[in-house]
Amino acid sequence: MIIQLYTMQSPAEALACVDAGADHVGITPPQGLPGELPTLEAMRDIVDAVGDRARCVALTVDMDPARIVTMVELVRPSILHLCPLAERITPRDVGAIRARLPGVPIMTAVSVTGLESVRVARDYAEVSDYLILDTQAAGIPGIGASGKTHDWSVSRDIVDSVRVPVILAGGLSAENVRQAIRAVAPWGVDSLTHTNRALDGGGFCKDLERVAAFVAAARHA
């Protein structure tokens, strides 16, 4: 079971999460998103610090291929995670970005709502190396970071319908990740909100006790 954790805000935090068992660590550019880093250079610092100990996943809600390519070329993540709002990026768009970034695996986010999400996922799977199934929230300019679960039966239908690895996200915690894995049978699981600790004055950092509990629960599902 692959464990993916968002979102790293320093090299030290990323390395602590890798030590706790994360296989993928997510980094977020400055795009008005929770836990974003101030610069692309700060993202690259995390990639350099992690090295080959884990895979760094760079998220973007951008839809401009030129800006996406610039970010990837500077940051050099292991995986590019595309997650604009649902339906704002088409499979054709994903394919065009993929053509401009040969050798960079692409993970495309799917907002799981109803059975229509299965068709959407199938279309994205044709041009993606991975899918991440998440829950869209109002007020966030992309798919994810809601802290809420969705209908896992639809996610299971997606897993059974595509040929690419699927990461399940959306409201996962140490308390529910075993149940989620048993229900969906994903290739990996992702956590952001429920492995965070709120900071005085706003913002958050990763709560390493929650991270360790999440990793243990996922590994023993």
Three-class DSSP labels, the chain: CEEEECCCCCHHHHHHHHHCCCCEEEECCCCCCCCCCCCHHHHHHHHHHHCCCCEEEEEECCCCHHHHHHHHHHHCCCEEEECCCCCCCCHHHHHHHHHHCCCCCEEEEEECCCCHHHHHHHHHHCCCCEEEEECECCCCCCECCCCCCCCHHHHHHHHHHCCCCEEECCCCCCCCHHHHHHHHCCCEEEECHHHEEECCCCCEEECHHHHHHHHHHHHCC
Confidence band of 202 (pLDDT split at 50, 70, 90) = confident
Tell which wins on pLDDT, 212 or 84: 212
What is the gyration radius of the CA atoms in the chain, in angstroms? 16
Rounded to an integer, the average pLDDT of 189-197 is 97
The domain ranges of the chain are 2-219
Confidence band of 146 (pLDDT split at 50, 70, 90) = confident
Predicted confidence at residue 141, as pLDDT, reads 75
> For 20-57, what is each residue's pLDDT tens digit?
999 999 999 998 888 999 999 999 999 999 999 999 99
Planar angle of CA 71, 76, 81, nearest 5 degrees: 65
Predicted confidence at residue 63, as pLDDT, reads 87
Rounded to an integer, the average pLDDT of 178-187 is 98
Predicted confidence at residue 34, as pLDDT, reads 84
Report the chain's mean pLDDT, rounded to a whole number.
Answer: 95
Does residue 144 register a pLDDT over 90? no
Q: What CATH code would you report for 2-219? A: 3.20.20.70
Predicted confidence at residue 115, as pLDDT, reads 93
Supply the pTM of this predicted model: 0.95
Please, which residues have CB within 8 angstroms of residue 190's CB and are 6 or more apart in sequence? 4, 5, 6, 24, 26, 132, 134, 167, 168, 169, 172
Report whether 132 contacts 24 (CB < 8 A).
no
